[in-house]
Amino acid sequence: MTDTLINFFTETLDGLPKELIVFVISMVPILELRGGIVAASLLGINIAKAIPICIIGNIIPIPFIMMFIRPIFDWMKKRKAFKGIVERLEKKSLEKSDKIQKYEFVGLLLFVGIPLPGTGAWTGSLIAVLLDIKPKKAVPPIFLGLLLATAIMCIVSYFIPWLVKQL
């Protein structure tokens, strides 16, 4: 699914600078920084340039999620057309929250940092809001999780392909 989404964005945004494409991909839920690093590698963007682009792209939505998602969800729940969608999203997010509740800082850091489907800064921020974790306590582990995800994805997207070419 990630490959399909990356292809969609690279084809849709074709003609724009590669760096802007990677930046946009890094802002999108599901893809986030993970998809941005993969896209940067596939587009031939140097790792030193890709890392800050992807981190900044993935960080930008976090404060908006933390400040506005609760009022947006409350508004949407009052609308028949959106109520079910919001309730499913909240339920799905909270199903993943047990480790975050149990281990707090480290749990949120690992949730955001280990690149598995359904994890990342978007979901981590949403869970933090739904669990009423104050931004002051949630932002540091989310940011450190982004750094961990960056390291893992750079190894997968840049180092391993380089190593394979050397063999």
Span 37-83, pLDDT tens digits: 999 999 999 999 999 999 999 999 999 999 999 999 999 999 999 99
- Mean pLDDT (the chain, rounded): 92
Rounded to whole angstroms, the Cα distance separating 166 from 71 reads: 52
Rg from Cα positions in the chain: 17
Rounded to whole angstroms, the Cα distance separating 50 from 85 reads: 34
- Could you tell me the pTM of the whole model? 0.87
- Count the neighbouring beta carbons within 10 Å of the beta carbon of residue 28: 18
- 17 pLDDT band, cuts 50/70/90, is very high
Contact in structure between 58 and 27 (CB atoms under 8 Å): yes
Angle between the N-to-C axes of helices 2-12 and 32-42, in degrees from 0 to 180, rounded to the nearest 10: 60
- 2 pLDDT band, cuts 50/70/90, is low
Mean of pLDDT values over 124-134? 93
Counting residues of the chain whose pLDDT is more than 90, the rounded percentage is 76
- Which amino acid is located at 104 in the chain? E
The answer on pLDDT for 153 being more than 80 is: yes
Domain ranges of the chain: 2-59+153-166, 62-149
